[in-house]
A and B are shown apart, each in its own frame.
Chain A
């Protein structure tokens, strides 16, 4: 009988999800920076 499959890489997926979340936040902050530069420029 086949062994039930299990998710083997929860730690890596967690790290990647944290990275993608930081990526998104920093990308949005780049627009905030852009807006500030326009505002004071």
Chain B
């Protein structure tokens, strides 16, 4: 496994940028790459805090026992939750991963620090504009902004500026890899993590281009410069952004799984070709699968829906199954090499009281649940019943929050101490945080699936219809509120741990303190 092996220190001497050797990995870390990675990671945590706060308000308010938000604040909070938690948080973290994987893992400097900081500034600027328009109540259109809903033009400008920033980060990522090879800093195959992040970057590029095609006409329409904007055309291009971006998240999540496995257990995949092929499968299948967003649209033929939605939805499960097997198999093989016996003896070697095992296990388990519900969503006849019910957020929270966010949290517990050279603050608390977050999400997912099966609508401020609500609606949504409260508490603990690590964490270069093994 590339990340665990010390790489040769063949670094270009043409650049005088300060660097150090990581005491844990033996990798050369340039000061610029370290600062840019940390800046993006901190921005990601702030975006998660914003998204989590909005989500807490939405989730608690949807519990009929509480229901404290009026329509205006509810739809603004729902928009803020989608933008901050579904776009800003994962994309900032993925840009941090791009800098880390292209420079630090390759023993190289960042190709252009100016471009790196310019991209970061554009992303921050776009994010601030987006959140301000939402907080001012000028963009309560939810993160999809389907026409004929119209937000202030600054909402679209915020999205576009953020996207241009990400585009710059992708260019910098690609040219950093090219420069690392040209300068001899790295030779041979790319490390698996860099390869995976590269696949995520390609998907991000496709999603941004699709997003520009959707959002520029929407911005023109918002300004009144055109009278019409075809909702179906907008939705097609928007989901080229929206759903492809979720697969950027999934690929980055898989990368985080491999990162945790490498650092916590010293484990790498048993078969590199198998895992790299699985990454390529995402590239092939992730774009056409957006057809499942049109399964109830009357203007599209059944064959197109079946192929683009249902068949591709099933196919997209294959690379995720492959990666799930590869991550678990890598850990199993490593534990067997260390003496574990029997079919499941390797599981007994894992420290389940360690944050790495907690976050990786919960992430794998909840993502697996999301894999099932995702296939239900993409199955045409099932989608006709489940469409726009709480069953949809049940799936989204399984994959994007339970899978991706938990994996990012687990990886951040390693990445931030390694880059800041500070011991993780509250290691035991991190374990509690991962399990509490997982438990809260499981309660939410069960409640939302239950509510979806009963037909409770999603994306609505109130289900208090005249004559009362059907049986089970209130109970399922109140249970959802309990899950939201648990997950929100764990989200706050994560942010406290990250901030406390950066501010109060004990300064150290000792590998044993920076990366504590998660096996016995």
Contacts and interface: CB of A to CB of B under 8 A. Distances in A.
A9 B325 contact: yes
A15 to B, nearest CB: 6
B137 interface: no
Nearest to A19: B368
Contacts of B346: 11
Contact of A31 (B321, B371, B382, B453): B382
A5 to B, nearest CB: 11
Contacts of A23: 371-372, 375
A11 B345 CA distance: 9
A8 B335 CA distance: 10
Nearest to A16: B325
A12 B328 contact: yes
Interface string A13-34: 1111001101100110011011
Contacts of B328: 9, 11-12, 15-16
B376 A27 contact: yes
A11 B382 contact: no
Contacts of B376: 27, 30
A10 B372 contact: no
B225 to A, nearest CB: 45
A37 interface: yes
Given A11-B332, A34-B381, A37-B385, A27 B375 contact: yes
Contacts of A16: 321, 324-325, 328
Contact of B336 (A8, A26, A30, A31): A8
A29 B478 CA distance: 26
Given A11-B347, A23-B372, A27-B379, A34 B329 contact: no
B132 interface: no
A16 B375 CA distance: 17
A18 B336 CA distance: 21
Given A14-B343, A23-B371, A34-B382, A8 B333 contact: yes
Interface in B455-506: none
Contacts of B379: 27, 30
Contacts of B345: 11
A32 B324 CA distance: 28
23 contacts: A8-B332, A8-B336, A9-B270, A9-B325, A9-B329, A9-B332, A9-B333, A10-B343, A11-B328, A11-B343, A11-B345, A13-B325, A19-B324, A19-B368, A20-B321, A22-B372, A23-B372, A23-B375, A27-B379, A30-B376, A30-B382, A31-B382, A34-B381
Interface of B: 270, 321, 324-325, 328-329, 331-333, 336, 343-347, 368, 371-372, 375-376, 379, 381-382, 385, 453
The 5 closest A-B pairs by CB, nearest first: A9-B329, A12-B328, A12-B329, A8-B333, A9-B332
Given A14-B344, A19-B368, 18 more contacts: A9-B328, A9-B329, A10-B343, A11-B328, A11-B343, A11-B344, A11-B345, A11-B346, A11-B347, A12-B331, A12-B332, A13-B329, A16-B324, A16-B325, A19-B324, A20-B321, A22-B372, A27-B376
